[in-house]
Amino acid sequence: MSNSTRKERNKKGRKPLFIILLLIKFFLLLAMGGTYYYFSSQQKQVSYFHIENPIVFQGEIYEKSAVFNNNQLYLPFQFISDHLDEGITYDEQTKSVIIISNETILRFPIEKLEKYVNEEPFEIAVETLITENQELYVEIEQLENIYPIEYTFFEDVKSVVISKDGEERRVGSVNKTAKQKDLRIKTTNTYFSDFYDTVIHGEKLYLIAEVDRHYFVQNEKGITGYMKTDLIESIETEVVSVYRDHAFRQLQYPEWPINLTWEAVYSQNPDVTTLPELPGINVVSPTWFKLKNEEGDIHSLASMTYVNWAKERGYHIWGLFSNDFNPERTHIALQNYETRQKMIRQLLQYSEMYDLDGINVDFENVYLKDKDLVTQFVRELTALAHQAGLIISMDITFISTSEMWSMFYDRRALAEIVDYMIVMAYDEHWGSSPLAGSVASFPWVERNLTKLLEVIPSERLILGIPTYTRIWKEQETEGGNIEVSSKALSMRAVEDWIKERDLTPEYDEASAQDYVEFYDEEEKATFKIWIENADSIARRGQMVHDYHLAGVASWNRFFANDESWKALDEKLSEIQN
């Protein structure tokens, strides 16, 4: 057989095989196209929201929905507390919601056509506060006037989308060349998934995340889902800007650094003719006011003679108001909005009568359960005090596990409310301490100060410093135990005590202070003193520079000597790099 004949037969044999392969390919393509068409046709639009009137905030659906009442939109009280204002409160006594805004106390009684602005009544067109299913709701138009928010209600999906001033969002727009079949916000990042909503060319979308060549997006209605990354263009970051005219009154703050001293007034004011010069002092805080009873009456020891003495020397006067360290009286007085307002009105009246520049709040020995009530009282006081041009400072302790002396302070919240926080950085070893020790050793102060500055901005924090010291007495009892007692002494009294016994102080490394110890043969007792003097006071003043603090506050004026005032002034006045 010739070669040409065999080639001819091979060509004839390959033709049927080629046709078969062609047919297989055709049917495969047909099947794939049919499958694609089938699954494409099965994609359906599904509902995204599963509650009525959902609230969308910062990309998420809030757990509770909004409600309509008489064609007015209302937001849950809990949403406001969670996301807009943790200070909003409901007062059971007056059946009102209380909001502090721009040095103003707003009170909205439940289901009434009225509101109170600093307790002055005003008529309003719609009820601001309603209840539904035992939940409180606040009308959104009032909220929009108070808080820097804006909202949109989308009728087709019944969603309420809320934006807040300063909110940062990554945005993009739908590519104008995108195919019609791709203009969908899908339920998953797979090709044949169902979809929640359709979009149009050029529509703005918020980009929440990027997952496997898809963006997790949200449209303006609050619906979120997936779109391919190549469908989104013109990506940028935008910041929500909502303007509200919340201009605050300009207060007259003391010059930096603040050098405050407390004037301890227990039953009567000092004779001002005997008061020494106080170089560097720019604020005095006499302990004039205290909570008298559960009804909110305030006991006053204020003196116009003292005021005139202070004003002649250019001192700011911050009258101290204490809870008298009475936990039960404090608990009852703070529970009631009207009692709190009564206390505030008296403080404002006294401030006007005595030409005060500020109020120093000193609440100590308070039940932990009253933590929020203390914060609310300070919030209400500060709003009205600022309106009267008064500066508010709040005394606090270092952070510890003591419920009634430390844990009841909501330091983070209080720091955002008041003008200054004053940390009482002393009584490391208190008067009845079972162990003798320094009133405020330097390592103890710096360790606790560093921890506190994680919560309170340094420019708002004033360091309380002791001008007193304790003389400790350790004496063996008949049973062989060591009995420890102490009493507080002024710097002058300590100097005299040391001189009388011809003692020489030594430097104590552990406390970073001068220290003396003396054994009394007659009393069979050991006396110990960790000394506060001009040197220790100056080194405490140095902490203002080291930690960029607002200043110092010394407890108290009576205990200090002339040398310590001068040393503190010189240290605070130093220009440091």
Q: Residue 188 sits in a domain of what CATH number?
A: 2.30.30.40
For the stretch 85-114, pLDDT in tens is 999 999 999 999 999 987 899 999 999 999
Tell me: do 128 and 173 sit in the same domain: no
Identify which has the larger pLDDT, 4 or 174: 174
Q: What is the pLDDT of residue 479?
A: 82
For the stretch 329-353, pLDDT in tens is: 999 999 999 999 999 999 999 999 9
Integer angstrom CA distances of residue 298 from 290, 343, 392, 501: 6, 7, 17, 46
> What is the share, in percent, of the chain residues with pLDDT greater than 70?
93
Residue with tokens 């919340």: 246
pLDDT of 33 reads 52
Same domain assignment for residues 66 and 193: no
CATH number at residue 323: 3.20.20.80
Question: Can you tell me the distance from the alpha carbon of 209 to that of 249, in angstroms, rounded to the nearest whole number?
Answer: 42
Tokens 């928010």 map to which residue? 149
Mean pLDDT of the 42-54 span: 90
- Alpha-carbon radius of gyration of the chain: 36
Residue with tokens 């004033």: 462
- Helix intervals (H) in 258-336: 304-312, 327-335
- pLDDT of residue 566 exceeding 80, the answer is yes
Instruction: Kindly tell me if the per-residue pLDDT of 15 is higher than 90.
Output: no
Amino acid at position 435, single letter: L
* 38 pLDDT above the threshold of 50: no
8 Å CB contact between 230 and 215: no
Q: Is residue 109 part of a domain?
A: yes
Query: What pLDDT is recorded for position 249?
Result: 63
Contact 467, 495 (CB under 8 A): no
Cα dist from 557 to 183, 231, 261, 465, whole Å = 75, 72, 6, 11
Of 162, 180, 202, which residue is a domain's last? Answer: 162
Cα torsion through 305, 307, 308, 310, rounded to 10: 120
Reported confidence tier of residue 531, pLDDT bands at 50, 70, 90: very high
157 and 185 both lie in a single domain = no
Does a structural domain hold residue 556? yes
Residues 425, 278 share a domain = yes
Query: Is the domain of 174 the same as that of 60?
Result: no
**Residues 134 and 267 reside in one and the same domain:** no
Q: Which residue has the tokens 């360091």?
A: 463
Residue 452 CA neighbour count, 13 Å, CB half: 31
CATH number of the domain bearing residue 59: 3.30.457.10
349-392 pLDDT, tens digit per residue, is 999 999 999 999 999 999 999 999 999 999 999 999 999 999 99
Return the ∠ at Cα 135 (arms to 134 and 141), rounded to 5°: 140
Q: What is the pLDDT of residues 109-129, one digit of tens each?
A: 999 999 999 999 999 999 999
What phi and psi values does residue 319 have, to the nearest 5 degrees? -65, 130
Does residue 512 belong to any structural domain of this protein?
A: no
Is residue 347 in a domain? Answer: yes
Q: Which residue has the higher pLDDT, 26 or 369?
A: 369
Q: Which of 130, 162, 194 is the last residue of a domain?
A: 162
Full domain range(s) for residue 410: 258-467+533-573
Q: Are residues 107 and 197 in the same domain?
A: no
Q: Backbone phi, then psi, for 235, in 5-degree steps?
A: -80, 135
| Same-domain check for residues 231 and 278 | no
Calpha distance 116→96 (Å, rounded): 10
145 and 175 inside one domain:
no
60 - beta bridge partners? 57
Say which residue, 320 or 31, is predicted with more confidence: 320
The two tokens of residue 293 are 């009873």
pLDDT at 477 over 90: no
At 244 the pLDDT is 72
Least confident of 39-48, 200-209, 272-281, 441-450: 39-48
When the pLDDT of each residue in the chain is averaged and rounded to a whole number, the result is 92
Give 197 or 102, the one with higher predicted confidence: 197
Alpha helices in 225-326 (DSSP H): 304-312
Inter-helix orientation angle 337-353/371-387, to 10°: 40
Give the tens place of pLDDT for each residue, 210-228: 999 999 999 999 999 999 9
116 is a domain residue: yes
Q: Residue 39: what pLDDT? A: 46
Residue 24 confidence (pLDDT): 74
Residues 173 and 145 reside in one and the same domain: no
Strands (E), 386-434: 391-396, 420-424
Within a domain: residue 487?
Answer: no
Question: What is the predicted pLDDT for the residue at 298?
Answer: 98
Predicted confidence at residue 36, as pLDDT, reads: 47
Mean pLDDT of 547-556: 98
Kind and range of the H or E run holding 94: none
pLDDT band at 524 (very low <50, low <70, confident <90, very high): very high
- Whether 16 maps to a domain, the answer reads no
pLDDT greater than 80 at residue 311: yes
Confidence of residue 476 (pLDDT cuts 50, 70, 90): confident
263 three-state secondary structure: strand
Q: What is the pLDDT of residues 274-295, one digit of tens each?
A: 999 999 999 999 999 999 999 9
Q: Say whether both 206 and 316 belong to one domain.
A: no
Inform me whether the pLDDT recorded for 4 exceeds 60: no
Answer positive or negative: Cα dihedral of 60, 66, 72, 77.
negative
Q: Indicate the number of domains in the chain.
A: 3
In a domain, 24, yes or no: no
Domain boundary pick from 140, 162, 184:
162
What share of the chain has pLDDT > 90, as a percent? Answer: 87
Task: Record the pTM.
Answer: 0.86
- Residue 540 pLDDT greater than 70, yes or no: yes
Q: Are residues 171 and 156 in the same domain?
A: no
Residue 182, exposed/middle/buried by CB under 10 A (0-12, 13-18, 19+)? Answer: middle
Which pLDDT does position 101 carry in this prediction?
86
